[in-house]
Structure 1
Amino acid sequence: MSQNKPSATLLVSCPDNKGLVAAIANFLMTYNANIMHADQHQDESENLFLMRIQWELEGFTLPMESFEAAFAPIATLHNMKWHTSLSTQKPKMAIFVSKYEHCLVDLLHRWRIGELGCDIPLVISNHEDCRRIVEFNGIPFHVVPVTKENKAEAEAEQWRLLQEAGTDFIVLARYMQVLSEKFVERYPDRVINIHHSFLPAFDGAKPYHRAFARGVKLIGATSHYVTQELDEGPIIEQEVTRISHRDNVEDLVQKGRDLEKVVLSRAVRWHIDNRVLSYSNKTVVFD
Protein backbone atom coordinates (compact mmCIF):
# COMPACT_ATOMS: atom_id res chain seq x y z
CA MET A 1 0.00 0.00 0.00
CA SER A 2 1.38 3.34 -1.00
CA GLN A 3 2.61 5.49 1.88
CA ASN A 4 2.21 8.54 -0.37
CA LYS A 5 -1.58 8.50 -0.23
CA PRO A 6 -3.10 11.23 1.97
CA SER A 7 -3.52 9.78 5.43
CA ALA A 8 -4.26 10.57 9.05
CA THR A 9 -2.40 9.29 12.10
CA LEU A 10 -3.73 8.89 15.62
CA LEU A 11 -1.41 8.60 18.63
CA VAL A 12 -2.97 7.38 21.88
CA SER A 13 -1.79 6.74 25.43
CA CYS A 14 -4.06 5.74 28.31
CA PRO A 15 -4.39 3.30 31.23
CA ASP A 16 -4.24 -0.25 29.90
CA ASN A 17 -7.51 -2.12 29.72
CA LYS A 18 -9.28 -4.73 27.66
CA GLY A 19 -10.96 -3.71 24.46
CA LEU A 20 -8.89 -0.63 23.63
CA VAL A 21 -7.72 -1.84 20.22
CA ALA A 22 -11.23 -2.90 19.29
CA ALA A 23 -12.70 0.40 20.45
CA ILE A 24 -10.34 2.44 18.30
CA ALA A 25 -10.51 0.14 15.26
CA ASN A 26 -14.30 -0.12 15.39
CA PHE A 27 -14.60 3.66 15.62
CA LEU A 28 -12.49 4.10 12.49
CA MET A 29 -14.30 1.33 10.64
CA THR A 30 -17.62 3.04 11.38
CA TYR A 31 -16.43 5.74 8.99
CA ASN A 32 -15.06 3.34 6.36
CA ALA A 33 -11.37 3.81 7.32
CA ASN A 34 -8.83 1.80 5.34
CA ILE A 35 -6.17 1.22 8.00
CA MET A 36 -2.66 1.35 6.55
CA HIS A 37 -0.65 0.64 9.67
CA ALA A 38 -1.27 -0.06 13.34
CA ASP A 39 1.17 -0.65 16.16
CA GLN A 40 0.73 -0.83 19.92
CA HIS A 41 2.66 -1.30 23.14
CA GLN A 42 1.69 -2.16 26.68
CA ASP A 43 3.97 -1.04 29.51
CA GLU A 44 3.04 -3.37 32.35
CA SER A 45 5.11 -1.51 34.93
CA GLU A 46 3.19 1.69 34.17
CA ASN A 47 -0.13 -0.03 33.34
CA LEU A 48 -0.07 2.02 30.18
CA PHE A 49 -1.39 1.36 26.68
CA LEU A 50 0.20 3.21 23.73
CA MET A 51 -0.87 3.02 20.11
CA ARG A 52 -0.21 4.50 16.68
CA ILE A 53 -2.73 3.92 13.93
CA GLN A 54 -2.66 5.35 10.40
CA TRP A 55 -5.43 5.27 7.81
CA GLU A 56 -6.16 6.56 4.31
CA LEU A 57 -8.20 9.72 4.00
CA GLU A 58 -9.64 8.61 0.67
CA GLY A 59 -13.00 7.04 1.39
CA PHE A 60 -12.96 8.06 5.06
CA THR A 61 -16.43 9.47 5.61
CA LEU A 62 -15.76 11.49 8.78
CA PRO A 63 -14.37 14.96 7.97
CA MET A 64 -11.19 15.46 9.97
CA GLU A 65 -12.47 18.80 11.27
CA SER A 66 -15.21 16.76 13.00
CA PHE A 67 -12.89 14.03 14.27
CA GLU A 68 -12.28 15.52 17.73
CA ALA A 69 -15.97 15.80 18.60
CA ALA A 70 -16.72 12.31 17.28
CA PHE A 71 -13.80 10.62 19.05
CA ALA A 72 -14.22 12.51 22.35
CA PRO A 73 -16.66 10.03 23.99
CA ILE A 74 -14.26 7.11 23.50
CA ALA A 75 -11.28 9.19 24.63
CA THR A 76 -13.11 10.35 27.75
CA LEU A 77 -14.35 6.85 28.60
CA HIS A 78 -10.81 5.44 28.52
CA ASN A 79 -9.00 8.52 29.91
CA MET A 80 -6.95 8.88 26.73
CA LYS A 81 -4.29 11.39 25.84
CA TRP A 82 -4.33 11.63 22.06
CA HIS A 83 -3.72 13.71 19.00
CA THR A 84 -4.07 13.37 15.26
CA SER A 85 -1.94 14.56 12.35
CA LEU A 86 -2.43 14.71 8.61
CA SER A 87 0.16 13.71 6.04
CA THR A 88 -0.99 16.63 3.90
CA GLN A 89 0.03 19.17 6.54
CA LYS A 90 3.80 19.50 6.80
CA PRO A 91 5.07 20.59 10.22
CA LYS A 92 7.33 23.62 10.42
CA MET A 93 10.79 22.82 11.79
CA ALA A 94 13.14 25.50 13.08
CA ILE A 95 16.83 24.63 13.36
CA PHE A 96 19.16 26.09 15.99
CA VAL A 97 22.88 25.85 15.27
CA SER A 98 26.15 27.37 16.51
CA LYS A 99 29.41 26.82 14.62
CA TYR A 100 29.46 23.07 13.94
CA GLU A 101 27.68 22.57 10.63
CA HIS A 102 27.70 18.81 10.00
CA CYS A 103 24.27 18.07 11.50
CA LEU A 104 22.78 21.18 9.91
CA VAL A 105 24.10 20.30 6.44
CA ASP A 106 22.82 16.74 6.74
CA LEU A 107 19.34 17.90 7.75
CA LEU A 108 19.21 20.44 4.93
CA HIS A 109 20.26 17.81 2.40
CA ARG A 110 17.65 15.31 3.59
CA TRP A 111 15.00 18.05 3.54
CA ARG A 112 15.97 19.17 0.04
CA ILE A 113 15.69 15.65 -1.43
CA GLY A 114 12.32 15.08 0.27
CA GLU A 115 13.43 12.64 2.94
CA LEU A 116 12.11 14.92 5.71
CA GLY A 117 8.46 15.80 5.18
CA CYS A 118 8.56 19.22 6.78
CA ASP A 119 9.03 22.88 6.01
CA ILE A 120 12.01 24.84 7.38
CA PRO A 121 10.92 28.47 7.74
CA LEU A 122 14.09 29.64 9.49
CA VAL A 123 17.44 28.78 11.04
CA ILE A 124 18.57 30.58 14.20
CA SER A 125 22.20 30.79 15.30
CA ASN A 126 24.32 32.61 17.85
CA HIS A 127 27.12 32.92 15.25
CA GLU A 128 27.46 33.94 11.60
CA ASP A 129 29.40 30.83 10.52
CA CYS A 130 26.55 28.87 8.91
CA ARG A 131 24.80 31.73 7.11
CA ARG A 132 26.14 30.88 3.65
CA ILE A 133 24.99 27.24 3.60
CA VAL A 134 21.57 28.13 5.00
CA GLU A 135 20.88 30.96 2.58
CA PHE A 136 22.16 28.79 -0.30
CA ASN A 137 19.17 26.57 0.48
CA GLY A 138 16.82 29.55 0.35
CA ILE A 139 16.08 29.58 4.08
CA PRO A 140 16.11 32.76 6.22
CA PHE A 141 19.06 32.84 8.63
CA HIS A 142 18.85 34.82 11.87
CA VAL A 143 21.75 35.56 14.19
CA VAL A 144 20.81 36.12 17.82
CA PRO A 145 23.99 36.53 19.91
CA VAL A 146 23.76 34.94 23.36
CA THR A 147 25.79 35.91 26.42
CA LYS A 148 25.29 35.42 30.14
CA GLU A 149 24.19 39.01 30.38
CA ASN A 150 21.60 39.02 27.56
CA LYS A 151 20.23 35.46 27.71
CA ALA A 152 16.67 36.51 28.59
CA GLU A 153 16.57 39.14 25.84
CA ALA A 154 18.08 36.69 23.33
CA GLU A 155 15.49 34.04 24.08
CA ALA A 156 12.72 36.62 23.82
CA GLU A 157 13.95 37.48 20.31
CA GLN A 158 14.21 33.79 19.41
CA TRP A 159 10.68 33.24 20.67
CA ARG A 160 9.44 36.16 18.58
CA LEU A 161 11.04 34.72 15.45
CA LEU A 162 9.63 31.27 16.13
CA GLN A 163 6.13 32.60 16.70
CA GLU A 164 6.31 34.75 13.58
CA ALA A 165 7.30 31.69 11.54
CA GLY A 166 4.57 29.48 13.04
CA THR A 167 7.14 26.93 14.22
CA ASP A 168 5.85 23.50 15.27
CA PHE A 169 9.09 22.05 16.63
CA ILE A 170 12.77 22.86 17.05
CA VAL A 171 15.91 20.87 16.29
CA LEU A 172 19.15 21.72 18.08
CA ALA A 173 21.77 20.78 15.49
CA ARG A 174 24.79 21.13 17.78
CA TYR A 175 23.48 24.39 19.24
CA MET A 176 25.98 25.07 22.01
CA GLN A 177 23.69 26.95 24.38
CA VAL A 178 21.51 25.67 27.21
CA LEU A 179 17.88 26.68 26.80
CA SER A 180 16.12 28.10 29.84
CA GLU A 181 13.33 26.22 31.62
CA LYS A 182 10.85 28.87 30.53
CA PHE A 183 11.82 28.39 26.88
CA VAL A 184 11.61 24.58 27.03
CA GLU A 185 8.21 24.70 28.73
CA ARG A 186 6.79 26.38 25.64
CA TYR A 187 7.72 23.38 23.46
CA PRO A 188 7.10 20.18 25.48
CA ASP A 189 8.40 17.17 23.55
CA ARG A 190 8.99 19.49 20.60
CA VAL A 191 12.67 20.37 21.04
CA ILE A 192 15.01 17.65 19.72
CA ASN A 193 18.67 17.69 20.68
CA ILE A 194 21.73 15.71 19.56
CA HIS A 195 24.26 14.92 22.27
CA HIS A 196 27.67 13.61 21.24
CA SER A 197 27.70 10.74 23.73
CA PHE A 198 25.84 7.53 24.49
CA LEU A 199 23.76 8.94 27.33
CA PRO A 200 23.67 8.64 30.27
CA ALA A 201 27.45 8.28 29.94
CA PHE A 202 29.45 11.51 29.56
CA ASP A 203 26.65 14.03 29.70
CA GLY A 204 27.44 17.75 29.67
CA ALA A 205 30.49 19.32 28.07
CA LYS A 206 33.42 17.73 26.18
CA PRO A 207 32.17 14.12 26.18
CA TYR A 208 34.71 12.95 23.57
CA HIS A 209 37.58 14.24 25.67
CA ARG A 210 36.18 12.52 28.74
CA ALA A 211 35.59 9.29 26.83
CA PHE A 212 39.19 9.37 25.61
CA ALA A 213 40.48 9.98 29.13
CA ARG A 214 38.39 7.05 30.40
CA GLY A 215 39.70 4.72 27.70
CA VAL A 216 36.30 3.53 26.51
CA LYS A 217 36.02 1.11 23.58
CA LEU A 218 32.70 2.44 22.30
CA ILE A 219 31.52 5.99 21.68
CA GLY A 220 28.01 7.01 20.79
CA ALA A 221 25.49 9.72 20.01
CA THR A 222 22.06 10.29 21.51
CA SER A 223 19.06 12.23 20.24
CA HIS A 224 16.52 13.16 22.88
CA TYR A 225 13.74 15.56 23.70
CA VAL A 226 14.92 18.55 25.71
CA THR A 227 13.61 18.99 29.25
CA GLN A 228 14.50 21.29 32.12
CA GLU A 229 17.23 18.84 33.21
CA LEU A 230 20.33 19.05 31.00
CA ASP A 231 20.77 15.93 28.82
CA GLU A 232 18.12 14.07 30.85
CA GLY A 233 15.18 14.19 28.43
CA PRO A 234 13.41 11.17 26.87
CA ILE A 235 15.73 9.37 24.48
CA ILE A 236 14.50 8.92 20.91
CA GLU A 237 17.50 7.26 19.19
CA GLN A 238 21.08 6.19 19.91
CA GLU A 239 23.97 4.63 17.98
CA VAL A 240 27.53 3.56 18.79
CA THR A 241 30.79 2.83 16.99
CA ARG A 242 33.84 0.95 18.18
CA ILE A 243 37.14 2.71 18.86
CA SER A 244 40.54 1.49 20.00
CA HIS A 245 43.64 2.58 21.86
CA ARG A 246 45.03 3.82 18.53
CA ASP A 247 42.38 6.55 18.30
CA ASN A 248 43.14 10.01 19.67
CA VAL A 249 40.61 12.67 20.61
CA GLU A 250 40.47 14.01 17.04
CA ASP A 251 39.67 10.50 15.77
CA LEU A 252 36.83 10.23 18.27
CA VAL A 253 35.43 13.58 17.17
CA GLN A 254 35.60 12.59 13.49
CA LYS A 255 33.91 9.23 14.06
CA GLY A 256 31.37 10.87 16.33
CA ARG A 257 30.31 13.37 13.68
CA ASP A 258 29.05 10.55 11.46
CA LEU A 259 27.05 9.10 14.33
CA GLU A 260 25.56 12.45 15.27
CA LYS A 261 24.21 13.10 11.76
CA VAL A 262 22.54 9.71 11.42
CA VAL A 263 21.08 9.63 14.91
CA LEU A 264 19.66 13.14 14.71
CA SER A 265 18.13 12.63 11.26
CA ARG A 266 16.41 9.43 12.41
CA ALA A 267 14.94 11.13 15.45
CA VAL A 268 13.73 14.08 13.39
CA ARG A 269 12.17 11.85 10.75
CA TRP A 270 10.37 9.75 13.36
CA HIS A 271 9.07 12.87 15.06
CA ILE A 272 7.80 14.25 11.74
CA ASP A 273 6.12 10.92 10.98
CA ASN A 274 4.42 10.95 14.40
CA ARG A 275 6.08 7.72 15.46
CA VAL A 276 7.23 8.85 18.91
CA LEU A 277 5.25 8.84 22.14
CA SER A 278 6.89 10.16 25.29
CA TYR A 279 6.00 9.11 28.82
CA SER A 280 7.75 8.78 32.21
CA ASN A 281 10.90 10.33 30.71
CA LYS A 282 11.25 7.63 28.05
CA THR A 283 9.77 7.04 24.63
CA VAL A 284 8.10 4.45 22.47
CA VAL A 285 9.14 4.68 18.82
CA PHE A 286 6.61 2.84 16.69
CA ASP A 287 7.66 0.87 13.62
Structure 2
Amino acid sequence: MALSSNWLKLQEANGKSNTKKSTKKSNNSNKVKRVQKKRENEKPTKKPNKIMNMVYSMNEAIAQHKVNKKEGKVFEFKSTEEIATKSEIVSASFDNLPTSKKSKEIGKFIAMDCEFVGVGPDGKDSALARISITNFFGHVIMDEFVKPRETVTDWRTWVSGVKPENMKNAITFSEAQKRCAEILEGRILVGHAIKHDLEALLLSHPKSMIRDTARHLPFRKAYAMGKAPSLKKLSKEILKVNIQEGQHSSVEDARITMLIYKSDKKEFERLHRTTFSNDSK
Protein backbone atom coordinates (compact mmCIF):
# COMPACT_ATOMS: atom_id res chain seq x y z
CA MET A 1 0.00 0.00 0.00
CA ALA A 2 2.87 2.36 0.77
CA LEU A 3 4.26 1.67 -2.71
CA SER A 4 0.85 2.34 -4.24
CA SER A 5 0.50 5.57 -2.28
CA ASN A 6 3.96 6.77 -3.40
CA TRP A 7 3.12 5.89 -6.97
CA LEU A 8 -0.07 7.97 -6.81
CA LYS A 9 1.84 10.94 -5.42
CA LEU A 10 4.42 10.59 -8.21
CA GLN A 11 1.67 10.55 -10.85
CA GLU A 12 0.07 13.69 -9.35
CA ALA A 13 3.46 15.44 -9.38
CA ASN A 14 4.02 14.46 -13.04
CA GLY A 15 0.52 15.69 -13.91
CA LYS A 16 1.19 19.10 -12.39
CA SER A 17 4.56 19.28 -14.18
CA ASN A 18 2.98 18.42 -17.55
CA THR A 19 0.25 21.01 -16.99
CA LYS A 20 2.86 23.70 -16.29
CA LYS A 21 4.85 22.69 -19.40
CA SER A 22 1.68 22.72 -21.53
CA THR A 23 0.69 26.14 -20.20
CA LYS A 24 4.20 27.50 -20.78
CA LYS A 25 4.29 26.05 -24.31
CA SER A 26 0.89 27.59 -25.09
CA ASN A 27 2.03 30.97 -23.78
CA ASN A 28 5.21 30.79 -25.88
CA SER A 29 3.18 29.87 -28.97
CA ASN A 30 0.86 32.82 -28.44
CA LYS A 31 3.86 35.08 -27.94
CA VAL A 32 5.42 33.91 -31.24
CA LYS A 33 2.13 34.53 -33.04
CA ARG A 34 1.91 38.04 -31.60
CA VAL A 35 5.48 38.78 -32.70
CA GLN A 36 4.82 37.42 -36.21
CA LYS A 37 1.65 39.47 -36.50
CA LYS A 38 3.51 42.55 -35.35
CA ARG A 39 6.24 41.95 -37.95
CA GLU A 40 3.64 41.51 -40.68
CA ASN A 41 2.05 44.80 -39.70
CA GLU A 42 5.44 46.47 -39.73
CA LYS A 43 6.33 45.23 -43.25
CA PRO A 44 6.99 48.22 -45.52
CA THR A 45 4.42 48.64 -48.24
CA LYS A 46 5.73 48.34 -51.78
CA LYS A 47 5.99 51.51 -53.81
CA PRO A 48 3.37 51.65 -56.55
CA ASN A 49 4.68 50.67 -60.00
CA LYS A 50 4.43 53.79 -62.19
CA ILE A 51 4.22 51.75 -65.38
CA MET A 52 1.38 49.57 -64.17
CA ASN A 53 -0.43 52.60 -62.73
CA MET A 54 -0.45 54.07 -66.23
CA VAL A 55 -1.70 50.75 -67.60
CA TYR A 56 -4.47 50.63 -64.99
CA SER A 57 -5.38 54.18 -66.00
CA MET A 58 -5.68 53.05 -69.62
CA ASN A 59 -7.90 50.13 -68.71
CA GLU A 60 -10.13 52.36 -66.58
CA ALA A 61 -10.46 54.80 -69.48
CA ILE A 62 -11.37 51.97 -71.85
CA ALA A 63 -13.96 50.60 -69.40
CA GLN A 64 -15.47 54.07 -68.94
CA HIS A 65 -15.66 54.52 -72.70
CA LYS A 66 -17.67 51.29 -73.01
CA VAL A 67 -20.10 52.55 -70.36
CA ASN A 68 -20.39 55.93 -72.09
CA LYS A 69 -21.01 54.22 -75.42
CA LYS A 70 -23.92 52.22 -73.96
CA GLU A 71 -25.37 55.41 -72.48
CA GLY A 72 -25.05 57.22 -75.80
CA LYS A 73 -22.38 59.65 -74.63
CA VAL A 74 -19.86 60.85 -77.22
CA PHE A 75 -16.14 60.56 -76.47
CA GLU A 76 -14.47 63.98 -76.46
CA PHE A 77 -10.81 64.10 -77.33
CA LYS A 78 -8.81 65.98 -74.69
CA SER A 79 -5.44 66.25 -76.42
CA THR A 80 -4.79 68.14 -79.66
CA GLU A 81 -1.58 66.24 -80.39
CA GLU A 82 -3.37 63.03 -81.45
CA ILE A 83 -5.46 62.06 -84.45
CA ALA A 84 -8.83 60.67 -83.37
CA THR A 85 -8.87 56.99 -84.33
CA LYS A 86 -10.54 53.84 -83.11
CA SER A 87 -7.71 53.55 -80.59
CA GLU A 88 -8.25 57.12 -79.30
CA ILE A 89 -9.11 55.86 -75.79
CA VAL A 90 -5.55 54.63 -75.24
CA SER A 91 -4.15 57.91 -76.53
CA ALA A 92 -6.41 59.92 -74.24
CA SER A 93 -5.25 57.94 -71.22
CA PHE A 94 -1.88 59.67 -71.59
CA ASP A 95 -3.43 63.05 -70.79
CA ASN A 96 -2.31 62.69 -67.17
CA LEU A 97 1.42 62.49 -67.85
CA PRO A 98 3.97 63.81 -65.31
CA THR A 99 4.02 67.59 -65.53
CA SER A 100 7.40 68.42 -63.97
CA LYS A 101 9.90 70.36 -66.06
CA LYS A 102 12.31 67.42 -66.12
CA SER A 103 9.65 64.98 -67.35
CA LYS A 104 9.03 67.19 -70.38
CA GLU A 105 12.68 67.36 -71.43
CA ILE A 106 13.93 65.11 -74.24
CA GLY A 107 16.12 63.12 -71.86
CA LYS A 108 18.32 60.10 -72.53
CA PHE A 109 15.65 57.70 -73.85
CA ILE A 110 13.32 58.39 -76.77
CA ALA A 111 10.77 56.21 -78.56
CA MET A 112 10.04 56.56 -82.27
CA ASP A 113 7.34 55.28 -84.61
CA CYS A 114 6.38 56.11 -88.19
CA GLU A 115 3.34 55.77 -90.44
CA PHE A 116 3.56 55.00 -94.14
CA VAL A 117 1.50 55.44 -97.29
CA GLY A 118 1.65 53.48 -100.54
CA VAL A 119 3.60 54.64 -103.60
CA GLY A 120 4.46 53.08 -106.93
CA PRO A 121 2.31 50.62 -108.90
CA ASP A 122 -0.69 49.48 -106.85
CA GLY A 123 0.71 51.34 -103.83
CA LYS A 124 2.77 48.33 -102.75
CA ASP A 125 5.88 50.32 -101.91
CA SER A 126 5.97 52.37 -98.71
CA ALA A 127 6.85 56.01 -98.17
CA LEU A 128 7.18 57.95 -94.92
CA ALA A 129 4.10 60.07 -94.15
CA ARG A 130 4.27 60.73 -90.40
CA ILE A 131 6.95 60.55 -87.73
CA SER A 132 6.40 60.68 -83.96
CA ILE A 133 8.98 60.77 -81.18
CA THR A 134 8.19 60.69 -77.45
CA ASN A 135 10.42 60.85 -74.40
CA PHE A 136 10.77 58.37 -71.53
CA PHE A 137 7.61 59.71 -69.85
CA GLY A 138 5.43 59.76 -72.97
CA HIS A 139 5.61 63.47 -73.74
CA VAL A 140 5.65 64.24 -77.47
CA ILE A 141 9.00 65.59 -78.67
CA MET A 142 8.17 65.52 -82.36
CA ASP A 143 4.99 64.68 -84.28
CA GLU A 144 4.90 65.74 -87.91
CA PHE A 145 3.26 64.69 -91.14
CA VAL A 146 5.81 64.31 -93.92
CA LYS A 147 5.29 64.96 -97.62
CA PRO A 148 6.21 61.79 -99.53
CA ARG A 149 8.80 62.37 -102.24
CA GLU A 150 6.83 60.20 -104.67
CA THR A 151 3.24 60.32 -105.83
CA VAL A 152 0.95 58.60 -103.35
CA THR A 153 -1.07 55.83 -104.98
CA ASP A 154 -2.62 54.45 -101.79
CA TRP A 155 -3.07 56.56 -98.67
CA ARG A 156 -3.81 53.44 -96.59
CA THR A 157 -5.94 55.67 -94.36
CA TRP A 158 -7.77 52.68 -92.89
CA VAL A 159 -4.52 51.63 -91.19
CA SER A 160 -2.12 54.61 -91.39
CA GLY A 161 -4.63 57.26 -90.33
CA VAL A 162 -3.05 59.56 -92.93
CA LYS A 163 -5.30 61.59 -95.26
CA PRO A 164 -4.53 63.87 -98.25
CA GLU A 165 -5.56 66.94 -96.22
CA ASN A 166 -2.83 66.15 -93.66
CA MET A 167 -0.26 67.11 -96.32
CA LYS A 168 -1.28 70.79 -96.31
CA ASN A 169 0.93 71.58 -93.31
CA ALA A 170 3.31 68.64 -93.69
CA ILE A 171 7.07 69.17 -93.58
CA THR A 172 9.47 68.00 -96.28
CA PHE A 173 11.32 64.71 -96.08
CA SER A 174 14.69 66.46 -95.73
CA GLU A 175 13.39 68.56 -92.83
CA ALA A 176 11.98 65.48 -91.09
CA GLN A 177 15.27 63.67 -91.59
CA LYS A 178 17.32 66.58 -90.22
CA ARG A 179 15.15 67.13 -87.14
CA CYS A 180 15.05 63.42 -86.36
CA ALA A 181 18.84 63.09 -86.69
CA GLU A 182 19.34 65.97 -84.25
CA ILE A 183 17.02 64.38 -81.67
CA LEU A 184 18.64 60.94 -82.06
CA GLU A 185 22.17 62.24 -81.55
CA GLY A 186 23.66 60.67 -78.39
CA ARG A 187 20.37 59.19 -77.21
CA ILE A 188 19.04 55.67 -76.70
CA LEU A 189 16.38 54.87 -79.28
CA VAL A 190 13.49 52.60 -78.28
CA GLY A 191 11.32 51.19 -81.05
CA HIS A 192 9.53 48.17 -82.44
CA ALA A 193 11.23 46.74 -85.55
CA ILE A 194 12.92 50.13 -85.57
CA LYS A 195 15.17 49.15 -88.48
CA HIS A 196 12.32 49.85 -90.93
CA ASP A 197 11.71 53.35 -89.53
CA LEU A 198 15.41 54.24 -89.74
CA GLU A 199 15.63 52.93 -93.30
CA ALA A 200 12.61 55.02 -94.31
CA LEU A 201 14.39 58.10 -92.94
CA LEU A 202 17.66 57.07 -94.59
CA LEU A 203 19.31 57.29 -91.16
CA SER A 204 21.50 54.98 -89.13
CA HIS A 205 21.97 54.73 -85.37
CA PRO A 206 24.61 52.80 -83.36
CA LYS A 207 23.34 49.33 -82.41
CA SER A 208 24.61 49.93 -78.89
CA MET A 209 22.12 52.82 -78.65
CA ILE A 210 19.04 50.86 -79.84
CA ARG A 211 16.49 48.95 -77.75
CA ASP A 212 14.14 47.02 -80.04
CA THR A 213 11.08 45.43 -78.43
CA ALA A 214 10.62 43.18 -81.47
CA ARG A 215 14.09 41.67 -80.98
CA HIS A 216 14.04 41.31 -77.18
CA LEU A 217 14.70 37.58 -76.64
CA PRO A 218 12.46 37.09 -73.55
CA PHE A 219 9.52 38.59 -75.46
CA ARG A 220 10.17 36.43 -78.52
CA LYS A 221 10.28 33.27 -76.40
CA ALA A 222 7.25 34.11 -74.26
CA TYR A 223 4.90 35.50 -76.90
CA ALA A 224 5.96 34.40 -80.41
CA MET A 225 7.69 30.99 -80.18
CA GLY A 226 11.08 32.57 -80.89
CA LYS A 227 9.87 34.84 -83.69
CA ALA A 228 9.34 38.60 -83.62
CA PRO A 229 6.05 39.43 -81.85
CA SER A 230 3.88 42.26 -83.12
CA LEU A 231 3.51 45.45 -81.10
CA LYS A 232 -0.20 44.71 -80.86
CA LYS A 233 0.56 41.30 -79.33
CA LEU A 234 3.03 42.68 -76.79
CA SER A 235 0.65 45.44 -75.77
CA LYS A 236 -2.14 42.96 -75.16
CA GLU A 237 0.01 40.39 -73.32
CA ILE A 238 2.18 42.73 -71.23
CA LEU A 239 0.08 45.86 -70.74
CA LYS A 240 -3.36 44.23 -71.12
CA VAL A 241 -4.24 47.01 -73.57
CA ASN A 242 -5.65 46.58 -77.09
CA ILE A 243 -4.17 48.89 -79.71
CA GLN A 244 -4.22 49.29 -83.51
CA GLU A 245 -7.86 48.28 -83.78
CA GLY A 246 -8.27 50.12 -87.06
CA GLN A 247 -6.33 53.28 -87.89
CA HIS A 248 -2.92 53.49 -86.23
CA SER A 249 -1.42 56.43 -84.36
CA SER A 250 2.36 56.74 -84.39
CA VAL A 251 2.24 58.76 -81.15
CA GLU A 252 0.28 56.03 -79.42
CA ASP A 253 2.57 53.29 -80.78
CA ALA A 254 5.70 55.16 -79.65
CA ARG A 255 4.28 55.60 -76.15
CA ILE A 256 3.20 51.96 -75.93
CA THR A 257 6.63 50.82 -77.14
CA MET A 258 8.30 52.83 -74.38
CA LEU A 259 5.96 51.33 -71.76
CA ILE A 260 6.77 47.82 -73.00
CA TYR A 261 10.50 48.57 -72.80
CA LYS A 262 10.12 49.97 -69.28
CA SER A 263 8.20 46.85 -68.19
CA ASP A 264 11.41 44.80 -68.61
CA LYS A 265 14.06 47.54 -68.58
CA LYS A 266 16.48 45.74 -66.24
CA GLU A 267 16.56 42.62 -68.40
CA PHE A 268 16.87 44.71 -71.57
CA GLU A 269 19.95 46.43 -70.16
CA ARG A 270 21.45 43.23 -68.74
CA LEU A 271 21.22 41.42 -72.09
CA HIS A 272 22.48 44.53 -73.84
CA ARG A 273 25.59 44.69 -71.65
CA THR A 274 26.22 40.97 -72.15
CA THR A 275 25.87 41.20 -75.93
CA PHE A 276 28.20 44.14 -76.38
CA SER A 277 30.77 42.95 -73.84
CA ASN A 278 31.01 39.67 -75.80
CA ASP A 279 31.27 41.55 -79.12
CA SER A 280 34.19 43.59 -77.82
CA LYS A 281 36.23 40.49 -76.95
- TM-score for both structures, normalised by structure 2: 0.28
Larger RCO of the pair (alpha carbons < 8 Å, separation 6+): 2
Question: Greater share of helix residues, 1 or 2?
Answer: 2
Q: Higher strand proportion, which one?
A: 1
Give the TM-score normalised by the residue count of structure 1.
0.28
Larger Rg: 2
